[in-house]
Amino acid sequence: MVIRSAQPGDIFILLLPEEKTQPVAFPWQRRLQAQYGGQCTQPLHVSLQRFTCADPSYLTAFKNTLQAAISRVKPLSLEGIALQPLFSNFRQNYILKCRLQQNEAINSLAAMISQQLQQHNLTPDFPWCPELVTVLEDIDRTATDEILLHSPETLFVGSTLLLSRVVARNEYLPLWQWQLQG
């Protein structure tokens, strides 16, 4: 299945580290940057879902339901298991993605978000659980194959949920933000 590139108007649901714990770049990002070049993705995040919504009342109702549902969700640790250089049609450059080790916490959160969207007649764009995190943008060197890491690498603890609308390439409008505290 081919998923279209992001477009202006798309709304993303992102999982980020808590703002006060996110450095300009994590030490492991700097190591990868030394190897591949490019810029560290800021803010570092995993896209849990993407959707479109033309009716602001649907978006408000979804936001209220999502806020209530995530009140029981605890921050979750995300670990990377492999690296994958890819060309990004949206960014129009090469990026370095990190494949996530799947776990019950991330899968449950993604499933709950997709279910909440569907209950509000909003169609989730991603039919699977989140599996890739963009760690570097505009990398200098590319490889063609996935590179397995020697052992899982802790990327960050996801504790902030953000709804963000794409305005234009590399321009986003934050809509709502919540801290996971479970």
134 in a structural domain: no
Residue with tokens 């899968």: 107
Number of domains the chain contains? 1
Residues of the domain holding 174: 11-78+103-128+156-179
Residue 63 half-sphere exposure, CB side, CA atoms within 13 Å? 17
89 in a structural domain: no
Triad 18, 21, 27: Cα angle to 5° = 125
Is 0.95 topped by the overall pTM?
Answer: no
3 in a structural domain: no
Question: What is the rounded distance in angstroms from the CA atom of residue 106 to the CA atom of residue 48?
Answer: 9
149: CB partners within 8 A, 6+ apart: 80, 81, 82, 83
Q: Please, are residues 162 and 18 in contact by the beta-carbon 8 Å criterion?
A: no
135 in a structural domain: no
- Single-letter residue type at 32: L
141 in a structural domain: no
Per-residue pLDDT of the chain (182 residues; tens, 9 = 90+): 567 888 999 999 999 998 776 677 888 999 999 989 999 998 899 999 999 998 889 999 999 999 999 999 999 999 999 999 988 888 888 999 999 999 999 999 999 999 999 999 999 998 877 888 999 999 986 666 788 888 899 999 999 999 999 999 889 999 999 999 87
